[in-house]
Amino acid sequence: MLLLLQEATQETATAASGNTDPAVATQQASPVVEGFSEFISRASSGDFSTDTWILLWDSVGWPVLQAVVLIVLVFIVAGWVSRLTGKAVRKAKVEETLARFLSNVAKYIVLVAGGVAILGTIGVEMTSFAALIAAVGFAIGMAMSGMLGNIASGVMLLLFRPFKVGDVVNAGGVQGKIFEIGLFTTEFDTPDNRRIIVPNNEIFGGTIENISHHATRRVAIDVGTDYGADIDTARAVMLEAAKATEHVLSDPEPAVVLTGLGGSSIDWSVRVWVNSGDYWAVMDALTRNVKYALDKAEIGIPFPQMDVHIDGGIKRD
């Protein structure tokens, strides 16, 4: 088994150096590979002396320990740089959406640079693996085309700015408030306090409805009245109820529109304009006020009914 490991290690060093000569490959291999190969050679011959274990520590153990420590430090520094970048761009009065995006970019740059440095620490010569890295990168790119598409979509969302952090949006099959636009995904907070994460590609590739983009919105409720009620009277009653509703704007003025003559009712649409933040509260209050106003004016609101008629008598035995 040790002989097989030794041969596999030598073959790896040979393939990495791009030379079929084992002697040349050993010279070009990284110190970690050389040290481990030497340890395998000694162990296969039964040499487990103190010098052999010192060789393993100096050539493999210590570089690996350094790499582990550097990995921890890189993640700490990446988080620190991300926070520092976010504070700096916010201080420059950059919009929150872009501030979060730039802080994430800074974090990934540090992680990539740290990864290259860690490879150098364990003796990996990046130039020796240029062709291999290119081939692996191409394969990974093909396999992760969806992820690359998410990154491109995230950049397009920041460039075209169809929404920003804090907007209420209907996109990617989700309706909620935008919490963060990241490199790969966009995070939503729903009205019932759920966090939903959607890939950027699904958002940018579909229809985006920015519900809170404008400062004002129109509230419209559908109402049906009896055919026996006077049309002008019904209109006046509902219009007065709409104007009396709290938080309704006077410009544009409330309107009561006759929309049709239904099968059992005269159909209306009561429309008012409100500030976007008051939308749901006004819809509730407007519906309540219109119902009470029609009841007070003794104007009925028809509802579906079924009359059952039984013809003939009951047959008894």
| Contact between residue 29 and residue 16 where contact means Cβ atoms under 8 Å apart | yes
User: Does residue 265 form part of some domain?
Assistant: yes
Q: What is the model's pLDDT at position 195?
A: 95
How far apart, in whole angstroms, are the C-alpha atoms of residue 200 and residue 197? 9
Residue reference for tokens 């860690």: 118
User: How is residue 83 written in tokens?
Assistant: 């926070």
Domain boundary among 130, 164, 184: 130
Residue 187 to residues 59, 192, 298, Cα–Cα distance (Å): 46, 15, 50
Question: What is the sign, positive or negative, of the torsion defined by CA atoms of 109, 184, 85, 78?
Answer: negative
Check whether residue 102 and residue 160 sit in a common domain. no
Check whether residue 204 and residue 234 sit in a common domain.
no
Cα separation, 204 vs 162, whole angstroms? 9
Pairing between β-strand 209-210 and β-strand 185-189 as defined by DSSP bridges = unpaired
In contact, 68 and 43? CB cutoff 8 Å: no
Specify if 118 maps to a domain.
yes
Looking at the structure, tell me whether residues 192 and 224 fall in a common domain.
no
Residue 209 is encoded by which pair of tokens? Answer: 């409805």
SS3 content of the chain, % helix, strand, coil (to 5): 55, 15, 30
Determine the structural domain holding residue 185 and report its residue range: 154-210
- Asked whether residue 49 is domain-assigned, the answer is yes
Alpha carbon distance 245, 279 (integer Å)? 12
26 found inside a domain: yes
Residues 160, 125 share a domain: no
Q: Are 17 and 111 in a shared domain?
A: yes
What is the pTM (predicted TM-score) of this model? 0.55
Q: Within 13 Å and on the Cβ side, how many CA atoms surround 224? A: 11
Q: Are 176 and 191 in contact (CB under 8 A)?
A: yes
Per-residue pLDDT of the chain (317 residues; tens, 9 = 90+): 334 334 444 444 444 444 444 434 444 556 666 666 666 776 677 766 676 677 667 666 677 777 788 888 888 888 888 888 888 877 777 667 777 777 888 888 888 788 777 776 666 665 555 555 666 666 656 555 667 788 888 888 888 889 988 899 999 999 999 998 887 889 999 989 999 999 999 999 899 999 989 999 999 999 999 999 999 999 999 999 999 999 999 999 999 999 999 888 999 999 999 999 999 999 999 999 999 999 999 999 887 766 677 776 555 65
Q: In this structure, what DSSP letter does residue 124 have?
A: -
CATH at residue 276: 3.30.70.100
For residue 63, tell me if it sits in a domain: yes
| Number of helices followed by number of strands (H, E) in the chain | 11, 8
Tell me: do 162 and 181 sit in the same domain. yes
CA distance 99 to 87: 8
Confirm whether 302 is domain-assigned: no
Instruction: Report how far residue 48's alpha carbon sits from residue 87's, in angstroms, rounded to the nearest whole number.
Output: 55
- Do 182 and 287 lie in one domain? The reply is no
Last residue of a domain, one of 75, 98, 130: 130
38 in the same domain as 109? yes
Separation of alpha carbons 102 and 228, rounded Å: 65
Residues 46 and 108 in one domain: yes
Give me the half-sphere count of Cα atoms (radius 13 Å) on the Cβ side of residue 250: 1
Q: Quick one: 120 and 43 in the same domain? A: yes
Measure the CA–CA gap between 254 and 245, rounded to whole angstroms.
10
pLDDT of residue 144: 54
Query: Domain of 175: which CATH number?
Result: 2.30.30.60
Same-domain check for residues 10 and 125:
yes
d(CA 56, CA 96) in angstroms, rounded, equals 51
Is 21 in the same domain as 98? yes
In a domain, 146, yes or no: no
Q: Dig out the tokens for 195 from the structure.
A: 């966090």
Q: Quick check: is 67 in a domain?
A: yes
Listed residues 167, 184, 210: the one ending a domain: 210
> How many domains, the chain?
3
